[in-house]
Amino acid sequence: MDYLLKNKIIETTAISERVVEGLLPGPQNEQHKVVKWVALLLSTGAGLLLCNRYLPLGLHSVIILLFSTALGFSAYYLYLRGQAK
C-alpha cells in the first residue's frame, strides 16, 4: 500500500523520491507500534487479572493498574533501547 501511495505522490507532484520516502512510515516504525501495543495490552491485562484476583475493588486496584501499565511502558522503552544498540 505504501508503494502505491509513494508512486501516486511522485506521479502527481514534482517532489523527489527521497522526500516522499521520508513522509511515509517505514516498516521499522510499524513494528515498533505493534510491539508498543502488545506490551501495553499485555501489561494492562495482567493488571486486570491481579485486580480481579485480589478483591474487593478499590484504590489498590487503581494502583495495580497504574503500576502494570507503567511496567508495560518501561518494557517498551527497554525494547527500543535494545533496538537502538
Distance separating alpha carbons of residues 39 and 49, to the nearest angstrom:
15
Q: Which residues of 7-29 are buried (b: 16+ CB within 10 A; e: fewer)?
A: eeeeeeeeeeeeebeeeeeeeee
Distance separating alpha carbons of residues 58 and 29, to the nearest angstrom:
38
Q: Which pLDDT belongs to residue 57? A: 80
Structural domain boundaries in the chain: 26-84
- Residue 11 has φ and ψ, to the nearest 5°, of -65, -40
Mean pLDDT value across residues 15-28: 63
pLDDT in tens, 33-44: 888 999 999 999
CB 9 within 8 A of CB 20: yes
Q: Which pLDDT belongs to residue 55? A: 80
